[in-house]
Homo-oligomer: A and B are copies of this chain.
């Protein structure tokens, strides 16, 4: 089984028979972009020992790689088109591993409406498994969401909740899976908010997905939009603010997790949106109709780029960690 056999036997099926991909027998895929639409491109790479445990199952690696890339399309307001897949193997992969990996990709492709357009299969002697994807999507021309589009006075909306993936990772590391099953599932298998794409691009000024942590990614919007942001924690009888999931709340109460970890833990792949006040009701109604949970957690304002966190009483918190960094 050489690289050509691997491609023919396992990866070709991921093209779903599309002529654009020429059965992965060509140097390149040739794709039509529908008139009136723009192309959206993003790349995310996952490395063994850094982004996933070295003994992680092939199914979970496959799904996570595809989903974190799809999450970037969601944050751009783009509909999925196709993806390129580069796999670098430290040793020759086993047939069972490949079957499980590509089988999981194929299932997810059907769920999210995307196909594999090509890629590269290489060996990485003395290295570790590296999975790099470049995902392509399309948006109606001029409708892509950018990080730099937020305006002073915009409301900050969060889909779902934050801190869950960080708690899941903590639970896996510390044998606490049984206590935090939902958080472990979120860590293992993020759900890109692609279902929200149309609603979000109709009603939001800016969006980012939470891969580096709420504070860091919200900070990215602040920098790109030249704005300050303020988020407020819910609780203590006051109305509004950031509500946590039951498991994350429990982990905070039992001191298994600190608020820093919640606000700076990465990998949640929820969306943070900047929404003009007069679009807020429509956005929330649209998301509710799609059964996508969402909450108002703060607002953007003029000021030096940066995120302020207020406790339920409105007192400014001082936090240490600010998100995942590679170096």
Residues of A at under 8 Å CB distance from B?
Answer: 1-4, 6, 22, 25-33, 35, 38-51, 72-73, 75-76, 78, 82, 84-86, 88-90, 92, 117-128, 130, 132, 134, 136-137, 139, 141, 144, 146-148, 208-209, 220, 223-224, 325-327
Contacts and interface: CB of A to CB of B under 8 A. Distances in A.
A123 B326 contact: yes
Contact of A26 (B30, B132, B224): B224
Q: Which of A25, A30, A90 has the most CB of B within 10 A?
A: A30
Given A3-B325, A84-B43, A224-B22, A124 B128 contact: yes
Nearest to A76: B28
B134 A84 contact: yes
A148 to B, nearest CB: 6
B122 A45 contact: yes
A75 B327 contact: no
Contacts of A122: 45-47, 50-51, 326
Please state the number of chain copies in the assembly: 2
Contacts of A126: 49, 128
B118 A41 contact: yes
Contacts of A39: 30-33, 39, 136
A167 to B, nearest CB: 23
A45 B131 CA distance: 11
29 contacts: A2-B327, A3-B327, A6-B327, A22-B147, A25-B147, A25-B224, A27-B72, A28-B41, A28-B42, A28-B73, A28-B76, A30-B40, A30-B144, A31-B39, A32-B38, A32-B39, A39-B39, A41-B117, A41-B118, A42-B84, A43-B85, A43-B120, A45-B132, A47-B122, A47-B123, A49-B124, A123-B327, A124-B128, A130-B132
A45 B327 contact: no
A79 to B, nearest CB: 12
A90 B327 CA distance: 10
A3 B30 CA distance: 33
A216 to B, nearest CB: 9
